[in-house]
Amino acid sequence: MTTLSEAASKALLAPHGVPFLEERICADVDAAVNAGSDLGYPVVAKLNGDAIAHKTERGLVRLGLGDADALGRAAGELLEAATPEDGEVTVLVAPMVSSNREFICGVSTDPQFGKTVLLGVGGILAEAIADVSIRLAPITDRDAHSMIDELRTSDLLGEFRGSPAVDRDALVRLLVGLSSVVEAEPQIAAIDLNPVLIVDGQPVAVDALVETTNVAETAS
């Protein structure tokens, strides 16, 4: 099994309609600071590499960086935190966004049934609520709407704490996009979009992880 970097995962998924924020891949501190100026503060900085799957657990994410000095320090710390096992690394710089609604979307491979598409409630309550809906791939728009309706906490999709209702059609496009990418790229074994934030009613995936099988595994 091979894990793609966050940047490579996003590059693979974006053409299939999975929505991401504009971001920059930066090789050094100066490039990161320039990216912050281009994107506007506050920003997020993350260490990016093919061997880095669990950034948060390793402290490789910096949130709410409000100016060039803070971003420069964070980028330097992230690059210094890289280990030889991480291989070639860069720093991802993206706008800082927040939301009071989070979802999890993804794909997994069931050993008996094959590829499945998942939608669930994310955030700090994800494990406690365990509210998910799953369909076998490929899925249609109708399947995706049905997945959304199945969530027990579907009230989160309406107007919520002063925020507009979720654009259901946009969420459907995201789910169908995940289905289409695994049809087009059969070597994909798993996709994890966590979290998918709702920003001004629109779903936006702020992290992505794709796992692929190697040629021999795919052939078997």
* Structural domains of the chain, with CATH: 22-95 (3.30.1490.20), 102-219 (3.30.470.20)
Higher pLDDT, 72 or 128: 72
Give the separation between CA 39 and CA 97, rounded to whole angstroms: 12
Q: Using a pLDDT cut of 90, give the percent of the chain over it.
A: 78
Omega of the bond leading into 164 within 30 degrees of 0 (cis): no
Query: 119 burial class (0-12, 13-18, 19+ CB within 10 angstroms)?
Result: buried
For position 128, what pLDDT does the model report? 58
For position 217, what pLDDT does the model report? 43
For position 187, what pLDDT does the model report? 95
Q: Using a pLDDT cut of 70, give the percent of the chain over it.
A: 95
The sign of the dihedral angle between the CA atoms of 49, 184, 104, 115 is negative
Q: What are phi and psi of 99, to 5 degrees?
A: -160, 150
CB-hemisphere CA count at 13 Å for 213?
Answer: 15
Considering the chain, what is the average pLDDT of its residues?
A: 92
For position 158, what pLDDT does the model report? 87
For position 163, what pLDDT does the model report? 84
Higher pLDDT, 130 or 177: 177
pLDDT one-digit tens code per residue, 19-44: 999 999 999 999 999 999 999 999 99
Cβ-defined contacts of 149-156 (< 8 Å, 24+): 151/119, 151/120, 151/121, 153/121, 153/129, 156/101, 156/121
Binning pLDDT at 50, 70 and 90, where does residue 127 land?
A: low
pLDDT one-digit tens code per residue, 58-112: 899 999 999 999 999 999 999 999 999 989 999 999 999 989 889 999 999 999 9
For position 124, what pLDDT does the model report? 64
Amino acid sitting at position 12: L
Q: H/E element holding 217? A: helix 215-219
0.85 exceeded by pTM: yes
Two structure tokens written together for 193: 């979009």
DSSP 160-201: BTTBPPP-HHHHHHHHHHHHHHHHH-TTEEEEEEEEEEEETT
The sign of the dihedral angle between the CA atoms of 38, 20, 129, 1 is negative
pLDDT one-digit tens code per residue, 199-215: 999 999 999 999 999 74
Q: What is the mean pLDDT of residues 172-201?
A: 96
Binning pLDDT at 50, 70 and 90, where does residue 220 land?
A: very low
